Structures are given as structure tokens and as C-alpha cells.
Amino acid sequence: MTLLRAHSLRVGYAGRAILPPLDLAVDAGRSWALVGRNGSGKTTAMRTVLGLLPPIAGLVERAPGLRVGYVPQRATVDASVPGRVLDVVRAGLDHGWSFLDPRVPLRGRRAIRDALEATDALDLRRQPFARLSEGQKQRVLIARSLVAQPALMVLDEPTSALDPVSEDAIFTLLDRLRRERGLALIIASHQLSYVPRFATHAVLVDREHDLALAGTAAEILAAPAFHARYGAAAAALAAPTAQAADAREPADG
């Protein structure tokens, strides 16, 4: 099932496009990596796909009733605000006029517990968010997004403040959630090594070189434009084999 589709999408500001047209289709159970150097247009593309910025041209189609979960960069979350992990995750339930629905409290308690269990954060539920490690905070923010039961989760640099071990744990967690729940993921990240391991598809953007490519992860990793942009780092990444790519596909049903 296609959850989101971009047709000849051009993104930018003040009526000026910063990238060439982009076409992509995000299906349930797929993991899209959004890669590009700093200032390449990743955040602008992500915000446009989310509907936070209007397209310069083209359009974005979303499946009717599509629920989208968003995990922002850790730097945008004020960790100094007093609050327990439960409070942070509960905030993911607040939308529209939901506070007027008498059924929300019961459903909410179940959803919060489920999200915390799914992210291995249940034992943290009564701890102050500000006192958690960076890896724990990221798991809690993923739980906050998960609590509303999205079909598509969009993450902006989810491992930017993490050490390599915690970084790998977060990507492994996201891949497990994708497989178990049939989630679609769009992950903007500076970390290239996760692409051949966890991504099924990828988008490469480069504002400076007027570049926007979308395809399978193997196609993007093999693209001359990718190697031209990333040099030795690209050469160090082995393109996934067809067998490895098949292994990342979600199970039927």
C-alpha cells in the first residue's frame, strides 16, 4: 500500500526551488534514507513532505487518514523542562480536540505502555526525562511518536548526539519496529553506514549540484552521483546484494 507519493515535487523557499523535481512513492513497511551533506536540502525536503512547507511545484499525495509520527532532532527538544518519561510520551497523544473524548484516558494508558515496551523504555517511565542518557532520550522520543500509532514515521537525524554503540541500537530498534508493525520510515541522517544495512530505498539530495535522486538503496549506493559526492566514504559502503535487500522487506500479513 502506498502511503505517500511525490509527483515532480520541487522544494524551496519564497517561491524559489532549491532542488530539481523529485518523484517517489513510500509504501508501507519500507525504510527510506534521506541523505545529503549539511545544507543539501534534506530538512527542506522533509518539511515539505510533512506538509510543513508548501511545494514550489508538483504535489505530495497522502493516503486518506494517514497518521504520521515525527521525531525531531534532539537539539530541538528542551530537556530542561521538568517532566517524567511518561509525561513526554503522553504528549504524543494530544492532537485536535482529543482531550474531550472520554475514551482517550483508557486508550492512552494502553498506548503509552505499548509504545514504551516497544522501544525498551518501560523501565524508564517514572524517571525525569532530563536525567536520561542521550540514547535513552532518543528511545523515549521514538515512543512519543509511536504512541499515536502512525503508519509513517519521519525522523530527523535520530542519532546525531549518540555514540556508535547507541547509534547502532537506535537503527536496529527502528528496523525492528518497521518489520513488526509494517511501519514506513523516512530517516534523514548524516550517517551513511546505516543505508546498506537498514534502508530499502534512498533519496540523495545535493542543493549545490542541483541533484535529487530516488530509488532503491542499492541503486543510490551504486549511482555515480553518490560516489562523486561522498568519495572514499561511498567506496567503503558495499552495495546491498539482491538477497540482502529481500531480507529487509517486511513479511506478508
67-165 domain in CATH 3.40.640.10? no
pLDDT value of position 229: 85
Which pTM does this prediction carry?
0.87
pLDDT exceeds 90 at position 144: yes
pLDDT value of position 233: 77
Domain boundaries, the chain: 67-165, 191-200+209-253
pLDDT value of position 106: 57
Following DSSP, what letter does each residue of the chain receive, concatenated? Answer: -EEEEEEEEE-EETTEESS--EEEEEETT-EEEEE--TTSSHHHHHHHHHTSS--SEEEEEE-TT--EEEE--GGGS-TTS--BHHHHHHGGG--TTGGG-TTHHHHHHHHHHHHHHHTT-GGGTTSBGGGS-HHHHHHHHHHHHHTT--SEEEEESTTTT--HHHHHHHHHHHHHHHHHH--EEEEE-S--THHHHH-SEEEEEETTTTEEEEEEHHHHHH-HHHHHHHHHHHHTSPPPPHHHHHHTSPPP-
pLDDT exceeds 50 at position 2: yes
Mean pLDDT of the chain: 86
pLDDT value of position 77: 63
pLDDT exceeds 70 at position 199: yes
pLDDT above 70: percentage of residues in the chain: 85
pLDDT digits (tens, 9 = 90+) for 207-219: 999 999 999 999 9
